[in-house]
């Protein structure tokens, strides 16, 4: 019987090191490798191309997502950029409209200038909207599910069907391979900002792409080596360390988020709570089909203007006011001012990212302390 997820998270790609027996994968802090004669080497010649610590992480990630291989990068944005580098001027990408602000910036302000065209479609109606937006020159479908920051859920299998053989990429940063495995639902590519839940401790920046396609794997390896936006060996070591506890951390993230979402739903100072695990979520049925649990992210709309949102956020003490997400510590942020400020104001408003919108990354602290902290911030808001 194949090892279960929790076992593979600890052992896949990470056997004891051969020479010393080191149980942990060593940090191979080297730039180059000795060759026995010109062109004859152990498979390692230059660290941009391969590094043993990075090899271990890439094998581990491929195992967790069910891919044939993965490619790691210096950040989630670098991973996104690498995928876009496989496209050519005149190619067309369909993306859901609710995406991380850095993703939108890369699409709209960088690669659009290089001749790639982008169409943004409603995330909540992705299969129908994608089918209508397809063109002969469409080369990629880009999904976040759940999306950032509005937590819309796209049914991956239905999107794959609507794509009519166009490759589908799923940004699985919020889901993680513990909660959701897009390749099992027909996706071609899975992208992670490993800065978030995979690293899990807010101490590393890294990204990755996993695939079941040998052709895509070869293309991404070529871009990885050519462009060189690779993570250093210490970064890879830190992500590997984080992944070892991914399963137990995600269960605690989910426990806390589920309880807080239910409580916030009845709070008089909250207009709306969006959490895929709530039966009130418009795509709850799709989340239930494709996710093991519903994650650690909650989006809520305060009954407040911008100044009220500031008072609420600056009143938090256990939740830290900071960008990013997915660490063991709870974070809160204001998308319109912080992570999604690169999206024009009229587009933010059209997508529902207004002045009262707050995104919570629920950590693994004690639930009672998190609830008390939020209640104290609501008192400050009042």
Query: Residue 208 contacts by C-beta under 8 Å, 6 or more apart in sequence?
Result: 57, 58, 61, 70, 71, 72, 73, 79, 191, 192, 194, 198
Tokens of 242: 């984080």
Report which of 155, 87, 94 is spatially closest to residue 127, judged by C-alpha positions.
155
82-121 pLDDT, tens digit each: 999 999 999 999 999 999 999 999 999 999 999 999 999 9
131-143 pLDDT, tens digit each: 999 999 999 999 9
Cα distance between residue 290 and residue 302, in whole Å: 29
The kind and range of the H/E element at 168 are strand 168-171
Active centre residues (catalytic): 48, 100, 171, 196
Looking at the chain, list the stretches that DSSP marks H as alpha helix, in order from N- to C-terminal side.
5-11, 52-65, 76-84, 101-105, 126-133, 156-163, 176-179, 214-227, 233-244, 246-265, 284-290, 306-314, 345-351, 367-381
Q: What is the mean pLDDT of the chain?
A: 96
CA triple 226-103-285, angle to 5 deg: 120
149 within 8 A of 340, measured Cβ to Cβ: yes
pTM listed for this prediction: 0.95
Cβ burial of 321 (10 Å; 0-12, 13-18, 19+) is middle
Cα distance between residue 380 and residue 162, in whole Å: 47
Judged by DSSP in three states, 367 sits in helix
Task: Look at residue 345 and tell me whether its pLDDT is greater than 80.
Answer: no
Longest CA–CA span in the chain (Å) reads 74
Task: Look at residue 267 and tell me whether its pLDDT is greater than 80.
Answer: yes
Task: Look at residue 2 and tell me whether its pLDDT is greater than 90.
Answer: no
Query: Residue 312 contacts by C-beta under 8 Å, 6 or more apart in sequence?
Result: 302, 304, 358, 377, 378, 380, 381
Task: Look at residue 350 and tell me whether its pLDDT is greater than 80.
Answer: no
pLDDT given at position 338: 83
Task: Look at residue 367 and tell me whether its pLDDT is greater than 80.
Answer: yes
Please, which pLDDT band fits residue 150 given cuts at 50, 70 and 90?
A: very high
pLDDT given at position 337: 82
Instruction: Provide the 10 A C-beta neighbour count for residue 239.
Output: 29
pLDDT given at position 374: 98
52-93 pLDDT, tens digit each: 999 999 999 999 999 999 999 999 999 999 999 999 999 999
């Amino acid at each position: 019987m194949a090892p279960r997820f929790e076992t593979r998270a600890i052992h896949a790609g990470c056997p004891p090191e051969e020479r010393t027996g080191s149980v942990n994968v060593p940090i191979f802090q080297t730039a180059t490798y000795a060759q026995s004669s010109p062109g004859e080497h152990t498979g390692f010649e230059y660290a941009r191309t391969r590094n043993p610590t990075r090899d271990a992480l890439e094998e581990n990630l491929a195992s967790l997502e069910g891919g044939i291989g993965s490619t790691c990068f210096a950040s989630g944005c670098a991973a996104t950029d690498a995928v876009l580098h496989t496209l050519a001027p005149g190619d067309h990408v369909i993306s859901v409209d609710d995406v991380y602000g850095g993703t939108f910036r890369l699409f709209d302000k960088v690669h659009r200038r290089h001749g790639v065209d982008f169409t943004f479609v409603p995330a909540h109606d992705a299969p129908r909207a994608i089918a209508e937006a397809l063109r002969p020159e469409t080369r990629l479908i880009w999904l976040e599910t759940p999306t950032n920051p509005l937590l819309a859920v796209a049914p991956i299998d239905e999107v794959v069907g609507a794509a009519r053989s166009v490759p589908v990429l799923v940004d699985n940063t919020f889901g993680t391979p513990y909660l959701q495995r897009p390749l099992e639902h027909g996706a071609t590519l899975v992208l992670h900002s490993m800065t978030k839940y995979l690293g899990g401790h807010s101490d590393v920046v890294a990204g990755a792409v996993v695939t079941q396609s040998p052709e895509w794997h070869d293309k991404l390896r070529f871009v990885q080596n050519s462009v060189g936006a690779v993570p250093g060996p210490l970064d890879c070591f830190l992500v590997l360390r984080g992944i070892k506890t991914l399963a137990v951390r995600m269960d605690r993230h989910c426990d806390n988020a589920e309880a807080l979402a239910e409580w916030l739903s009845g709070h008089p100072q909250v207009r709306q709570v969006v959490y895929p695990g709530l039966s009130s979520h418009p795509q709850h049925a799709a989340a239930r089909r494709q996710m093991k649990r519903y994650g650690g992210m909650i989006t809520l709309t305060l009954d407040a203007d911008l100044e009220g949102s500031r008072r609420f956020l600056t009143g938090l003490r256990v939740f830290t006011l900071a960008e990013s997400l997915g660490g063991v510590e709870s974070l809160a942020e204001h998308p319109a001012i912080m992570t999604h400020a690169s999206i024009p104001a009229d587009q933010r408003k059209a997508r529902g990212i207004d002045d009262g919108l707050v995104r919570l990354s629920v950590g693994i602290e004690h639930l009672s302390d998190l609830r008390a902290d939020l209640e104290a911030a609501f008192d400050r808001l009042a």
